[in-house]
Amino acid sequence: MLELDLRSRKPIYEQLVEKLKELIINEVLKADEQLPSVRALASDLTINPNTIQKAYRELETQGYIYSVKGRGSFVTPSGEVQDSEKLKKVKRDLRKMISEALYLGMSVDELICLIKEIEPAVGGGLSNDKNE
């Protein structure tokens, strides 16, 4: 499931964070599903366990996973991810990207179609405040 580019300039833990977030967002990893243990994942990917631990800590900080002492790490249910600063940043980034797309000639209808195409494949989000 996880393929890392060991030759990339991007640190391995950042690649792990991105891949795991993608799996969570696309609901490949379901709410409350247990993630592989640090040791098991380190062994599977043949990388240092500290790298896995750093990625898991980052995902927990961002609210994508939670830890249960003695049991491991689990996927946070999407309705419980409450990182308003992260959401505000995503909205700012979206505004920039949408502005650029419109400037380059993409129509509003094309943008709406793109959103409708992406929405079914992405988990979470519906309970978020739409007035920000």
Is residue 49 within 8 A of residue 11, CB to CB? The reply is no
- Tokens, residue 29: 């990893």
Question: Is 49 a residue whose pLDDT tops 60?
Answer: yes
- Tokens, residue 15: 């690649």
Task: Measure Cα distances from 111 to 99, 106, 108 in Å.
Answer: 11, 7, 5
Return the residue matching tokens 């739409």.
Answer: 130
- Tokens, residue 4: 């890392």
Distance CA 120, CA 16 (A): 24
Question: Is 64 a residue whose pLDDT tops 60?
Answer: yes
Mean pLDDT of the chain, nearest integer:
86
| Confidence grade of residue 2 (pLDDT, cut at 50, 70, 90) | confident
**Helix, strand, coil percent content, the chain, rounded in steps of 5:** 55, 5, 40
pLDDT single digits (tens) 27-40: 899 999 999 999 99
Radius of gyration over alpha carbons of the chain, in Å?
17
